[in-house]
Amino acid sequence: MRVKCRIWWPKQNISCENPNSIVLFGWFFRSSSTSLDVVVAVVASQEKISHSHLQPDIEGILHFTNAKMPLSLQGKSTFSVLGHCATDCSFNGQYQWVEMEEKCPTKANGDIYPQNNEESFVENCERWSCGCRKLDRFVEQYRQLSIRNSNWIQLSYDTGYSCEDVRRIPKLHHIHWDGLVVPTFDVHVIIYEPPTFGVHHFSLNSWDSSEQVRMHLKRPMWVDELHQKQPSLDLDTVICAINSATAAKVVFENRVGPQNSFDRFPTVSMLVSVTWHLIAVLVASFFTLLYIILQLCHSFLSYGSQSYIYMIVAKLFGHTWRNIHIRCCQLLYWPIFLRDSGMRYQSSAEYVHRATLRQHSMWSSVAVDIFVGNIVGLALVLHIETACPWVLNLVRDITNDLLRSGCVWLMGVPAGFKLNTELAGIFGMISLNAIQIWSTLWFFLRFLFKYFIKGIAVSGIVLGVTVPAALTIDMIMLATLHVSTLHWLFSVLYSHQIQALTALWRLFRGRKWNPLRERFDSYNYTVKQHVVGSLLFTPLLLLLPTTSVFYIFFTILNTTTNLICIMIEVTVSILHATPYAKIVLWMVRRRRFPSGIWFEIVSGQSTNTLASPKIGFFSNLVSRLRKTERENKGGPRIVVSILRSNTSDIGQIILPHYRDVFRGVSISSSALSAHGVLTGKRIPTSLQTSLPSTMPWLFISFREYWRLCHDSVLACTTDLNCSGKS
């Protein structure tokens, strides 16, 4: 049986500083009966294990580390002792190994006993009959247990060359597979850089893979058979194990490794701890004060929530109320989202990266919103004396030059069209009276406009720019209420007139609508019905141009107002949906946004041409591997490759968020709006773009909220320390 073995080897273990005899920790994965993946996560020298307090509790540490791994990884494999790797004294080939066996006779128990008395020779040549190196008594117990229960690999370093990078690429001597020694195998050594929190991780899918492609219900049979086929390489699980390698190493080195830099300097550690506690107290006190203010406002509004005034105001200022509620929930729930991180660094670099981005997305959105709101608010405060007269003059010009002049123009002969003078006069007088009534109300309330501008400025400074933008939408809709009312009036007249003309036209054609079958059926009308229909059809048709002209005029005005509100609404939704934290992290560390993997072949069995890597660390490695291939021509060789990761571009990061914003907008909705304009139906005044979900109001005591904020800030220090260790 020829086994395909892939060894996933950490990058830092290639250097020459590693000890000559190390024990490997990680995961075994069986993709099939002839395929084995070995993911090496942690290496430790025998001396370090033998002289540490790891001896009595190695099983407990392995179980503890495995319990911290992702559930998907626990279901496929268990974190365990993989095998042993040491400097090979047998040089090359099976022949040299037989010679060494002659020099080192075997004991009765299977151990090899060297004939000479040199300590170094005993250390390098003492082996079991299977070829495994004889280990320390404590480690040897776990080797025997691993051979009986699962697998064990024996790796070696080549000693035929000088101490270069190529020396530290392992060679597989043999595998213990379910108690059997497997000497024949195809080896593929894959060098990977262990993912680290805040640096990078690996992912098979693209960053925007959450938007899955919708597959057709009917698929060919060969597609189902392909999905049922067991793959020879379970890359999903292997990549999950690689992403968890650093977390496993952190847990292991906490027991056998040196202390971190802070533990070496207790004064610095104490100073940093005191500083963080002071920051936590200040932040918790500030947000607790804000929490008290928000709770008082919520109690006051809840007290009058059943009154008609409250319901009218909530309906008129719906956009503002919703954005204020979103911002208040974000300010209330930030400690809960921040504290959710906890000790998740022990799970997987991919999981913690995505969880961290979700946590950062909320506070980064609030920070950018408030920053832009402060700029807009301060600009309005500094230029309020200029802004108020400009807006009032603009409103006056629109009312006089556009509304009044337009109505007078429609009462005459607009664009040479001959309209019904009496009907046009009635429509024009109704429109002018409505405009005059609204202008009078505006004249008496214009002194409040200055306070309204100040309110927009203050709300932008305190709550961010999205709240005054939503307030602007509500004020535009309130200020143009007379235009929308007139548009509603003329749309009702126009739609009923169109419906009447359509029904009368069906009368002349001898057709009638059947509501049960939802179709048009033939129908024999009487002569009286035809006469009455003719008398009604003629005046309605002749009065249609007059109604259409007024309807088109106010439809243009109302649509323009709605477009302005829609543009502001889209801007607000984009401000909420833009992933500012992802954009900043992408500019600083693009490797945190992987989009698939690829393998750079450094040394292969099928070709002597080696690809030159792009990373300088492996440039010397390539030259050494070339030298090794030339010197070992004709002998067994291994395939060595480097695991690389593609990075996502800025579009793959931002576009999924914007697609969620405009999920309700489609070509069909635009077609329905156009059909509504032609038939006189009301057109939507909003695109219904998505906003952040509103959360239930938070009801906890002030002391408990202070403690929650305090612990959330201190949780950041735990994550920083953990990332520093990794």
Residue 626, in any domain of the structure: no
Contact yes or no for 330/692 (Cβ under 8 A): yes
Residue 602, in any domain of the structure: no
**How distant, in Å, are the alpha carbons of 33, 571, 574, 647 from that of 657?**
43, 14, 9, 18
Q: What percent of the chain has pLDDT over 70?
A: 73
pLDDT of residue 373: 92
Whether residue 203 is predicted with pLDDT greater than 90 in this model: the reply is no
Whether residue 496 is predicted with pLDDT greater than 80 in this model: the reply is yes
Whether residue 453 is predicted with pLDDT greater than 60 in this model: the reply is yes
| Predicted confidence (pLDDT) per residue in 217-238, tens digit | 455 666 566 555 555 567 888 8
Residue 464, in any domain of the structure: yes
Q: How many residues does the chain have?
A: 726
**Non-local CB neighbours of 333 within 8 Å, separated by 6+ positions:** 362, 695, 698
Whether residue 576 is predicted with pLDDT greater than 70 in this model: the reply is yes
Residue 433, in any domain of the structure: yes
Q: Please state, in angstroms and rounded to a whole number, the distance separating the CA atoms of residues 436 and 622.
A: 85
What is the tally of structural domains in the chain? 2
pLDDT of residue 32: 73
Whether residue 347 is found in the same domain as residue 446: yes
Sheet strands (E) in 433-590:
511-514, 519-522
* Of the ranges 177-186, 206-215, 489-498, the best mean pLDDT one: 489-498
DSSP readout, 210-254?
TSPPPPPSS--HHHHHHHHSPPS--HHHHHHHHHTHHHHHHHHHH
Residue 723, in any domain of the structure: no
Of 18-32, 121-135, 503-517, 524-538, least confident by mean pLDDT is: 121-135
Whether residue 203 is found in the same domain as residue 70: yes
**How distant, in Å, are the alpha carbons of 380, 386, 419, 455, 489 from that of 450?**
11, 11, 43, 9, 32
Whether residue 171 is predicted with pLDDT greater than 90 in this model: the reply is no
Predicted model pTM? 0.75
Residue 283, in any domain of the structure: no
Whether residue 95 is predicted with pLDDT greater than 70 in this model: the reply is no
Q: If you average pLDDT over residues 533-537, what whole number do you get? A: 88
| Predicted confidence (pLDDT) per residue in 539-548, tens digit | 999 999 999 9
Whether residue 371 is predicted with pLDDT greater than 90 in this model: the reply is yes
Whether residue 462 is found in the same domain as residue 357: yes
Task: Find the farthest-apart pair of alpha carbons in the chain and give their distance in angstroms, rounded.
Answer: 130
pLDDT of residue 351: 83
Q: If you average pLDDT over residues 16-38, what whole number do you get? A: 77
Residue 700, in any domain of the structure: no
Q: If you average pLDDT over residues 687-715, what whole number do you get? A: 84
| Predicted confidence (pLDDT) per residue in 664-685, tens digit | 677 766 777 777 777 777 777 7
Considering 212, 235, 256, which residue would you say is the last residue of a domain? Answer: 256
Contact yes or no for 635/629 (Cβ under 8 A): no
Whether residue 352 is predicted with pLDDT greater than 50 in this model: the reply is yes
pLDDT of residue 92: 39
Whether residue 356 is predicted with pLDDT greater than 50 in this model: the reply is yes
Q: If you average pLDDT over residues 66-70, what whole number do you get? A: 81
Of 253-262, 479-488, 692-701, least confident by mean pLDDT is: 253-262
Q: Please state, in angstroms and rounded to a whole number, the distance separating the CA atoms of residues 17 and 503.
A: 93
Whether residue 185 is found in the same domain as residue 54: yes
Matching residue, tokens 């005005």: 557
Considering 215, 235, 256, which residue would you say is the last residue of a domain? Answer: 256
Q: If you average pLDDT over residues 571-599, what whole number do you get? A: 89
> Does 472 or 272 have the greater pLDDT score?
472
Whether residue 378 is found in the same domain as residue 476: yes
Whether residue 582 is predicted with pLDDT greater than 70 in this model: the reply is yes
Whether residue 368 is found in the same domain as residue 246: no
Q: If you average pLDDT over residues 158-177, what whole number do you get? A: 61
Whether residue 426 is predicted with pLDDT greater than 70 in this model: the reply is yes
Of 16-25, 292-301, 481-490, least confident by mean pLDDT is: 16-25
Residue 395, in any domain of the structure: yes
Reference 453, options 535, 379, 553; nearest CA is 379
Matching residue, tokens 């390489």: 233
Q: Which domain, by its residues, includes 460?
A: 341-588+651-687
Whether residue 53 is predicted with pLDDT greater than 60 in this model: the reply is no
Torsion-angle region of residue 716: left (phi > 0), alpha (psi -120 to 50) or beta?
alpha
- Sorting pLDDT into bands at 50, 70 and 90, what band is 466? very high
pLDDT of residue 486: 92
Phi, psi of 39 (to 5 degrees): -100, 110
271 burial level (CB within 10 Å; 0-12, 13-18, 19+): exposed
Whether residue 250 is found in the same domain as residue 360: no
Whether residue 243 is found in the same domain as residue 385: no
- Sorting pLDDT into bands at 50, 70 and 90, what band is 469? very high
Whether residue 715 is predicted with pLDDT greater than 90 in this model: the reply is no
DSSP 8-state class, residue 642: E
Whether residue 62 is found in the same domain as residue 184: yes
